Structure 1
Amino acid sequence: MGIADLLAGVEARGAFGVWLGRLDGLPVFQHRAETTHYSASTMKLPVAMAMMRRVAAGELALDQPIQVHNDFASAAGGRFGVNPAEDEAPATWTRMGAKVPLGWLATEMITLSSNLATDLVLEQVGVDAANAVLAEYGSGASVIRRGIDDAAAQRAGISNLMSPADLAAVLVAVGNDKTPGGEYVRDLLAGNQWNGEIPAGVPAGTRVEHKNGWDTTIRHDGGIVYPPDAEPFVLTACTTSELPDAEAQRLIAAIATEAWQHRHDLETVR
């Protein structure tokens, strides 16, 4: 069963998008790859990239201390806080009121997908800087407009959006970035501990540099897969659907398996 067949089997149950290609940025398979979805935690990758740009410019330092707090400026005006019940990474919360290194927060943001750590990093980086990274590599349709859990902004229609094609473009940029900053971000992605999508569809031990995201009706993943016997490939999948979450994860894993099976001749994917 090819990727197109897998997607045809769920088409009536939501919106599904896939982009598959190599680090040259040219797609070999696309399915509704330009359609945007609510980004969920995939927006944390451009945030990390923007952070490393500011580190390289000497404007930030990975070892600089940041006080952990839960009070942020809303994109709609006023203030907001992260809902701890919706944050599956508890470590940052245990440091409330203390100072921790920016690099520690970045690790929590990517490897455990901490929402609180994300908003702390984003506060240092700036929403505009994170959005500029996404705009530089993407089509312009994907955007970062607010922090995680900014409920007032969400009610005002201020949302973060991501398409499979734009997530792939950002991953291609990261994969080709040979600077220390690029290496740092790739190592963060490789340390991701939520591995139920793309990594679940390839052999155990395969290096996968990926960032996923999830919310009600949402399950996304995008990553660079490094087979030991073939060129790396980039795969992104975004799902907004009525599928149970575990089923959406299995779908993305199955798509990754199809890509893996064609890794020696990726153009034969169907």
Structure 2
Amino acid sequence: MGIADLLAGVAGRGEFGVWLGRLDGLPVFRHDADRTHYSASTMKLPVAMAMMRQVESGKLALDQPVTVHNDFASAAGGRFGVNPAEDEAPATWTRMGEQVPLGWLATEMITVSSNLATDLVLELVGVDAANAVLTEYGSGLSAIRRGIDDTAAQAAGISNELSPADLAAVLVAVGNDKGASGDYLRELLAANTWNGEIPAGVPAGTRVEHKNGWDTRIRHDGGIVRPADAEAFVLTVYTTSDLPDAEAQKLIGSVAAQAWEHRHNLEAIR
């Protein structure tokens, strides 16, 4: 069963987008790849990229101390805090009121998808700087407009949106970055501990540099898959649907499995 068949099997149950290609940035398979979805935690990769740009410029340093707090400016005005009940990464919460290195927060943001760590990093980096990454590499359809759990902004229609194609463009940029920032970001992505989507569809031990995201009706993943016996490929899958979460994860894994089967001749997947 090919990728098109897998998508046909869930037709009418939501919105599904796929982008598949190599690190040259040229797609070999697209399905609704320009349609934006609520980004969930996939927006954390552009945040990390914006952070590393400021580290390179000297504005920030990975070893600089950041006081852990849970009070942030809302994009809709006023203040908000991250809901601890919806943050599945507890370590940052245990450091409340303490100073931790910025690099430690970045690791928590990407490898365990900490929402609190994300908003602390985003507060330093700035929403505009994070969004500028998408503006540079993406189509103009995707945007980062607020922090995680900014419920007032969400109620006002201020949302973070990403398309499969734009996340793929960001991943291609990371994959082709030969500098220290590229190395740093790729290592963070490879250390992701939430591996129920793309990594589940490829053989155990395969290096996958990926960032996923999930919320109610949302399950996304995008990454660079590096087979030992073929060229690396980039795959992004976004699902906003009525599928049970486990089924959405399985769908993404099945798409990844099909891409893996065609890794020696990815163009044949068309």
State the shift of 1:201 in Å: 0.2
Equivalents in 2 of 1:13, 1:167: separation in Å?
A: 23
* Residue ranges of structure 1 left out of the alignment (5+ in a row): none
In structure 1, the residue matched to 2:257 is 257
What's the CA shift for 1:183? 0.7
Amino acid at match of 2:206: T
Distance 1:75 1:181 in 2: 29
The AA in structure 1 aligned to 2:60 is: L
Rounded to whole Å, the distance in 2 between the matches of 1:134 and 1:89 is 26
Deviations 1:179-238 (A, max 9, x none): 101110000000000000000000000000000000000000000000000000000000
Whole-Å separation in 2 of the counterparts to 1:185 and 1:76: 31
Matched with 2:201 is 201
TM-score norm. by structure 2 comes to: 1.00
Q: Percent identity among equivalent residues?
A: 82
Aligned to 1:16: 16
How many Å separate the matches in 2 of 1:220 and 1:102?
Answer: 26
> Displacement, 1:11?
1.1
Q: Report SS of the residue matched to 1:143.
A: coil
| Structure 1 residue 30: Cα displacement | 0.2
SS of equivalent residue, structure 1 residue 182: helix
Structure 1 segments (4+ residues) deviating >2 Å: none
Q: CA deviation at 1:242?
A: 0.1
In the alignment, which residue of structure 1 is the partner of 2:191? 191
Q: Which residue of 1 aligns with 2:42?
A: 42
Counterpart of 1:19, as a letter, is W
Listed one character per residue, the Cα deviations across residues 249-269 of structure 1 (whole Å, up to 9, x for unaligned) are 000000000000000000111
Report the counterpart of residue 155 of structure 2 in structure 1.
155
Structure 1 equivalent of residue 70 of structure 2? 70
Q: How many residues align?
A: 270
TM-score by length of 1: 1.00
1:220 aligns with 2:192: no
**Structure 2 stretches lacking a partner, 5+ long:** none
1:127-164 C-alpha deviation (Å, 9 max, x unpaired): 00000001100001000000000000000000000000
Q: What is the DSSP-based 3-state SS (H/G/I as helix, E as strand, rest coil) of the residue aligned with 1:132?
A: helix
- SS of 2:182's partner is helix
CA RMSD of aligned residues (A): 0.4
Give the corresponding residue for 1:242: 242
1:175-190 alignment runs, 5 A limit: 175-190=175-190
Secondary structure of 1:97's counterpart equals coil
Taking the aligned partners of 1:155 and 1:197, their CA distance within structure 2 comes to: 29
Q: 1 CA distance for matches of 2:135 and 2:254? A: 30
Q: Deviations over 1:100-127 (max 9, x none)?
A: 0000000000000000000000001000
Q: Equivalents in 1 of 2:6, 2:241: separation in Å? A: 14
Equivalent AA in structure 2 for residue 17 of structure 1: G
- The answer as to 2:96 corresponding to 1:110 is no
Deviations 1:10-35 (A, max 9, x none): 01100000000000000000000000
Q: Distance in 1 between matches of 2:131 and 2:216?
A: 24
Residue 264 of structure 1 aligns to a residue whose secondary structure is helix
Map 1:73-84; keep pairs closer than 5 Å: 73-84=73-84
